[in-house]
Structure 1
């Protein structure tokens, strides 16, 4: 079985919501549940050995994609910016859950690639704390230092909404990612602080202008943890060929997103999506950026994924399909984990 280190999931959001509803998320993760995509037993069955686990502040209302028109086109308005203080409360709650899971023996919170490899060797889920959208961080970046001390090692300055650091792309099809301004002055300071501390910067939800701002300022490889190919599925969240070329030139990484809206040629939110659509995007990524710059970024617990995978336990079905398609073991090792470990080591100054 191929061990996978995955670039993005929203497990902490799911567990946090479960706790808000009076559930027992720690035991559900450790012993298993039918909810969502990831728990420890299903991860083990599917070879999901670890990943970047997002602290993400949900919208105060039920967010959903706007219904497409007869041609399948849609343009979901950006959510309004969030209040920082309530966002900080939620972010601390999710960070606490991550530490409580470690204390309960559910996973290991990793701050280095050697810790990731050690956890995988022990058969324990290797979790890396990520922040998807920095609504919980103040402009003075005091909270950034606190979250770093708590284990934060990766962040995306924005989700698909605007904040004090920059602008996010909407969920829209068809649409260019060039939908608005880029980084603010506070966003520039955030990028520089992440470079100094050794926090990976994720460009998955940022506008194209923001992407180029980070490319100009950052000394890290360019990373889009869960994005696909705009030329194949022209949603605003996918990457243009020019962006992919910049990722290749920086020896960065693109994590293949399992979200069906970002895989299908028609952009529809339809789980009856064949694995061949995933292979099509991965082939084009390899062609454009090279085998050393492609990995996986499932978006488990954050998106509709193909029924053929269903949840973490079905992860190996994609890898078997890639093997049958002609990817050899060396290529699969890179896609499954080695490329992620390389770029993490670079961002973390190892």
Structure 2
């Protein structure tokens, strides 16, 4: 036991030294990226749970860990808790290489089945904090402090509210634990609403909106200053949130439907509503939502990402656009497979004509702005 602890401490010290050596002061690793979505917790859950958290310090098979974050200038982001459905990923990815596809949605997951998974992934998040891999942030000032101290700043986020009961008691419990952002649905239905299927080409107008439970969830989140994430929600649900929420409208990881007509992407009308609310959209790196042909193929040039950014900037303005990579949860462009490659994206932005001020806003300042507005600090 002593040797295990010693090795873990040794790995931590090594990575702290690397953090200082590679540093966020290096020009190609700045400005820091604060990102709208990742699935690190799911990957560590599948690898074995909290006992596997130490791999984040020394290096893991995935898109984000401390060494890669240091090299790429990844300052943190939304760490999603997500309950997976039994899925044939090989079939899913093969279907999404076709010219037209419409994948069936998984069945709804009951609260009793979801809660053990949610609890395990939350435990992973706090184990990562315990071993010094990141800091769980409950306010925008917490994020600023973490970034200044060169610590990964993590928001406790839930993607799909299967772990929340109809009475919303668990929402209050998880808020006390640090929950600050929630998406009422992943693509499958919940007691709160309906998500979009993985369908191309199609619009996000795919069915009913929020349930009565969903409207209560939105209002309770407003009362607690928990951000409501619109990504994965269908169009009717989107407009229900717009009607019932008094907070900025935010989609943490979504793209432009006018460029890629996928159900997961946002129409220009939705983008205008987000702009009017002084909200935010994080650009999703998932290739099926970037490519004009909607295919799950990684040979996507970075200029295609810039096309989406240009369109988002045109409608939302410079203060309401950021990044929402979906790292560790999606197939991403082959030039940006991990956060270590983020300098490539910064360079492409600069070569595209974005000035330093805009790049800084896209990388993290806009997320801090909308979180301060939503959370009140």
TM-score, with structure 2 as normaliser: 0.90
1:256 aligns with 2:280: no
- 2:83 is matched with 57
> How many Å separate the matches in 2 of 1:26 and 1:166?
33
Cα drift, residue 25 of structure 1: 2.2
User: Is there any run of 5+ residues in structure 1 with no aligned partner, and where?
Assistant: none
> How many Å separate the matches in 2 of 1:348 and 1:120?
18
> How many Å separate the matches in 2 of 1:232 and 1:288?
13
8 A contact 2:32–2:364 mirrored in 1? yes
- 2:197 is matched with 170
- RMSD (CA atoms): 1.3
> How many Å separate the matches in 2 of 1:71 and 1:98?
37
SS of 2:117's equivalent in the other structure is helix
For residues 1-350 of structure 1, the aligned pairs below 5 Å read 1-19=30-48, 24-33=51-60, 35-63=61-89, 65=92, 67-68=94-95, 72-350=99-377
Cα drift, residue 271 of structure 1: 0.8
Distance 1:69-1:4 versus aligned 2 partners, 3 A rule: closer
Specify which structure has the higher proportion of helix: 2
Deviation digits for residues 75-104 of structure 1 (CA, Å, limit 9, x no counterpart): 111111002112011001000111111111
8 A contact 1:18–1:24 mirrored in 2? no
User: Is there any run of 5+ residues in structure 2 with no aligned partner, and where?
Assistant: 1-29
Number of residue pairs matched by the alignment = 347
Distance 1:70-1:278 versus aligned 2 partners, 3 A rule: closer
SS of 1:17's equivalent in the other structure is helix
8 A contact 1:56–1:91 mirrored in 2? yes
SS of 2:163's equivalent in the other structure is coil
Runs of 4+ with deviation above 2 angstroms? 60-71
> How many Å separate the matches in 2 of 1:190 and 1:69?
33
Distance 1:114-1:316 versus aligned 2 partners, 3 A rule: same
> How many Å separate the matches in 2 of 1:199 and 1:318?
30
Distance 1:4-1:178 versus aligned 2 partners, 3 A rule: same
> How many Å separate the matches in 1 of 2:142 and 2:98?
48
8 A contact 1:2–1:316 mirrored in 2? no
> How many Å separate the matches in 2 of 1:62 and 1:119?
38
SS of 2:204's equivalent in the other structure is coil
